[in-house]
């Protein structure tokens, strides 16, 4: 089932009315009169609203009352009160899909879809970096965002780094948790992977046509189960989940905050103010200063991670020589 944030359905009318009158019981007849829909339609929408995870109490002779919101990342919840200009202002939600990234790529060329976010409760064919699978059960936060950037093609490699910084900011603000940033764009807690990002870019005549940013956050996942599945895969270094931090975190608030932070950082990229991105990323980096190893097409490179360059490339020092790495998976060799 696919839902979006902008179709004016009867369901949204009923839900909005219940939300704005949640201190009282509303009879089916009143809802039908005010909203100008039949009583049968009201009843059907209430059933659907309940099925979407909202708690609607119903009492004989009194009617209906909304007592709790849904925990699902429903599109109208994402857009409600969202303080961005473009990002996330159009949202889609699916309870299951192969990959939100694949779905976003199908929609990415259309200029009307700039800023669209596509969220799924679970993915059956989630994609990770370097062609790996991304395990995406219920409980995680899995989404893709379509962007039609104004920034120069030279900033493309900095974009994933900037996006990981935006997520670190959002987690700091909404969850009061500090995360580490592992080059290029993993978020970790105590060295274990909490979130990953994937960017698919489309270029035309030396310009960026569109970018699709895929974000996977282990929000409320069974860490032991995931570690068991992923243990033998490449680039595995342990799994972290936000719910382990025993915080009452609302997934909606986290996604909204990420969209706000991403839009701000995206503005910095558009105006070429990249210094702040690099210095803030470096402050949170768990890679810089460490002994690292990376597999490249020319073989393994080992060395000390010195810093990231203006374009986000990682500079590694080995026997006095500096190597610049643009992409790849690194292993931290030192603590
Ligand atoms: C990584 O390998 O670290 C990147 C993982 C990116 C996963 C996200 S989940 C939402 C979106 N859809 C996908 O199929 N992949 C990305």
Same domain, 136 and 53: no
Query: Of 21, 39, 68, which residue sits at a domain end?
Result: 68
Q: Are residues 274 and 316 in the same domain?
A: no
Could you identify the atom of ligand 1 that is nearest to the CA of residue 196? 3
Q: Which residue is closest in CA terms to ligand 1's atom 15?
A: 127
Say what the pLDDT of residue 5 is.
Answer: 86
**Residue 193 CB less than 6 A away from ligand 1:** no
Q: State the distance from the centre of ligand 1 to the C-alpha of 127, rounded, in angstroms.
A: 5
Per-residue pLDDT, 164: 98
Question: What is the structure's pLDDT at 79?
Answer: 97
**Torsion sign (Cα): 147, 151, 152, 157:** negative
Q: What is the CA radius of gyration of the chain?
A: 22
* Structure-block tokens of residue 304: 């000390």
Domain membership of residue 228 as a residue range = 75-283
CATH of the domain at 59: 1.10.10.10
Nearest to 179 by CA among 170, 137, 278, 313: 170
For the beta sheet containing 186-189, the strands, ordered from the edge strand earlier in sequence to the opposite edge, are 2-4, 91-97, 117-123, 141-147, 207-217, 192-204, 186-189, 180-182
Give me the number of domains the chain comprises: 3
Which residue's alpha carbon is nearest to atom 11 within ligand 1?
Answer: 214
Q: Are residues 90 and 164 in the same domain?
A: yes
The reply to whether 162 and 238 lie within a common domain is: yes
Residues 88 and 131 in one domain: yes
Atom of ligand 1 lying closest to residue 215 CA: 8
| 240/237 Cα distance (integer angstroms) | 10
pTM of the model: 0.95
The residue out of 49, 68, 87 marking a domain boundary is 68
What pLDDT does 115 receive? Answer: 98
Write down the pLDDT at residue 234: 87
Same domain, 87 and 209: yes
Domain identity same for 9 and 128: no
Which atom of ligand 1 sits closest to the CA of residue 99? 14
pLDDT at residue 166, rounded to an integer: 98
Note whether 175 and 302 are same-domain residues: no
Q: Which residue has the tokens 């603000």?
A: 173
Same domain for 131 and 11: no
CATH number of the domain at 174, please. 3.30.930.10
DSSP 7: -
CATH code, domain with 306: 2.30.30.100
Question: Which residue's CA lies nearest to atom 9 of ligand 1?
Answer: 216
| Residue 293 φ then ψ, to 5° | -130, 140
10 and 104 housed in the same domain: no
- What pLDDT sits at residue 282? 97
199 Cα: distance to centroid of ligand 1 (angstroms) = 9
Q: 261 and 155, same structural domain?
A: yes
* DSSP per-residue letters across 236-278: ---B--GGGG-----HHHHHHHHHHHHHHHHHHHHTT-HHHHH
Q: Please tell me whether residues 111 and 153 are part of one structural domain.
A: yes
Profile the chain (335 residues) by mean pLDDT over runs of 10 residues: 85 95 95 95 96 95 96 96 98 97 98 98 96 96 97 92 98 95 96 97 93 97 95 92 80 97 96 95 97 85 95 94 91 88
């Amino acid at each position: 089932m696919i839902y979006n944030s902008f179709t004016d359905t009867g369901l949204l009318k009923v839900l909005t009315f219940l939300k704005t009158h949640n201190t009282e019981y509303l009879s089916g007849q009143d809802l039908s009169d005010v909203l100008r829909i039949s009583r049968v339609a009201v009843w059907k929408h209430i059933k659907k609203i309940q099925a979407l995870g909202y708690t609607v109490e119903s009492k004989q002779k009194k009617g209906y009352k909304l007592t709790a919101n849904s925990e699902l990342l429903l599109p109208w919840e994402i857009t409600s009160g969202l303080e961005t200009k473009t990002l996330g202002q159009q949202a889609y939600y699916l309870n299951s899909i192969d990959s939100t990234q694949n779905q976003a790529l199908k929609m990415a060329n259309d200029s009307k879809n700039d800023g669209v976010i596509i969220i799924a409760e679970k993915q059956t064919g989630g994609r990770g970096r370097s062609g790996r699978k991304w395990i995406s059960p219920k409980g995680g936060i899995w989404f893709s965002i379509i962007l039609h950037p104004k920034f120069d093609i030279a900033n493309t490699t900095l974009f994933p780094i900037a996006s990981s910084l935006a997520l670190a900011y959002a987690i700091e603000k909404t969850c009061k948790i500090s995360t580490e940033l592992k080059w290029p764009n993993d978020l970790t807690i105590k060295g274990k992977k909490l979130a990953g990002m994937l960017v698919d870019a489309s270029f035309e005549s030396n310009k960026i046509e569109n970018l699709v940013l895929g974000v996977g956050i282990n929000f409320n996942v069974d860490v032991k189960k995931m570690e068991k599945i992923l243990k033998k895969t490449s680039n595995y270094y342990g799994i972290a989940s936000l719910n382990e931090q025993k915080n009452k975190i609302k997934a909606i608030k986290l996604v909204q905050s990420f969209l706000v932070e991403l839009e701000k950082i995206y503005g910095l990229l558009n105006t070429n103010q990249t210094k702040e991105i690099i210095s803030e990323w470096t402050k949170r980096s768990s890679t810089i200063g460490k002994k690292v190893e990376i597999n490249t097409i020319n073989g393994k490179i080992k060395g000390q991670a010195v810093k990231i360059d203006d374009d986000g490339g990682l500079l590694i020092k080995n026997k006095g020589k500096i190597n610049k790495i643009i992409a790849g998976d690194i292993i931290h060799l030192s603590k």
